[in-house]
Amino acid sequence: MSAHNRGTELDLSWISKIQVNHPAVLRRAEQIQARRTVKKEWQAAWLLKAVTFIDLTTLSGDDTSSNIQRLCYKAKYPIREDLLKALNMYDKGITTAAVCVYPARVCDAVKALKAAGCNIPVASVATGFPAGQTHLKTRLEEIRLAVEDGATEIDVVINRSLVLTGQWEALYDEIRQFRKACGEAHLKTILATGELGSLTNVYKASMIAMMAGSDFIKTSTGKETVNATFPVAIVMLRAIRDFFWKTGNKIGFKPAGGIRSAKDSLAWLSLVKEELGNEWLKPELFRIGASTLLSDIERQIYHHVTGRYAAYHDLPMS
């Protein structure tokens, strides 16, 4: 992953001037959703690229060491060997971008990936995921423990009440502490945009998170009623662009929650390409948080190679 974002001083004058043109954002979102997708070999190529952006995720109450092991194996071998050979892509080192688990499962993931002989990063959610409503001391300790266990990326959740009540300085200070607790691990800040009340709040929270030192900003936990949507993404991507223009720092973007189909993934890649450019289309600056998306991508690639659709049991998680 790219170098850390060291953050900037808090600029409340910038935050106070922000207003989002809601109708314009919705029009732009409709354009993205109405667009025809690429076909045939171009689609296969873009889908293989999408695989390399996936943070392959399991965040279930019934996670065990064995299903973490299977997840890690799938992260290393995301597409069936015979399909990659048919596309002449078998030796290209295609893996998912990371494996994302709960803090208590970081050790299992690190062990499984080491046994598989690969260096895919382990990402851990933290800070009272998904609500972010535990004591700050507990949230910081959770980050430190996950890093000690081997997580190299930490997906933190913000306290949404700080956004809803306009406590921007408190939000900045909290994320700065998250940044410090991460040490050398990369900080990915989940805004839980479905609970922030307005697109203007989404932009402001995005900007505060970047000023405070976030390496990525992420739409959702996947546990909210409303998760990754195109209007929210457009606002976040333009905040990333504005921050880059002002500071020269490139911040990553991660949509998560509800991205389940191969067609959806192509729309997200297209949006990032158009809003930020090809420079952001690499795992260092773009991720997709997903648990079931990979299955549909593999199914579409199977169809491209064989001319027929596989049943899901033909393409298991491992």
Q: What is the pLDDT along the chain (318 residues), one digit of tens a residue?
A: 668 999 999 999 999 999 999 999 999 999 888 877 788 899 999 999 999 999 999 999 999 999 999 999 999 999 999 999 999 998 899 999 999 999 999 999 999 999 999 999 999 999 999 999 999 999 999 999 999 999 999 999 999 999 999 999 999 999 999 999 999 999 999 999 999 999 999 999 999 999 999 999 999 999 999 999 999 999 999 999 999 999 999 999 999 999 999 999 999 999 999 999 999 999 999 999 998 999 999 999 999 999 998 876 778 765
The verdict on whether 188 is a catalytic residue reads no
Q: What pLDDT is recorded for position 37?
A: 77
Across-strand partners of 290?
Answer: 56
What pLDDT score does 314 carry? Answer: 76
pLDDT computed for residue 1 by the predictor: 66
Q: Which of 254, 263, 273, 282 is catalytic?
A: 254
Element (H, E) at 253: strand 252-254
Amino acid 117: pLDDT: 92
For domain 19-314, the CATH architecture is Alpha-Beta Barrel (3.20)
Among residues 123, 189, 124, the alpha carbon closest in space to that of 160 is found at 189
What does the domain layout of the chain look like in residue ranges?
Answer: 19-314
Catalytic residue among 92, 218, 273, 282: 218
Task: Please answer whether residues 254 and 286 qualify as being in contact, where contact means their C-beta atoms are separated by less than 8 angstroms.
Answer: yes
Q: Given this model, what pLDDT does residue 317 score?
A: 64
Annotated catalytic residue 218 = yes
Q: Which residues contact 197 (CB under 8 A, 6 or more apart)?
A: 163, 164
Beta bridge partners of 189: 156, 217
CB-based contact 98:55 (threshold 8 Å): yes
Residue 218 tokens read as 């992420």
CA separation, residue 15 to residues 18, 19, 209 (Å): 6, 9, 12
pTM of the model: 0.96
Which of 296, 235, 312 has its CA nearest to residue 271? 235
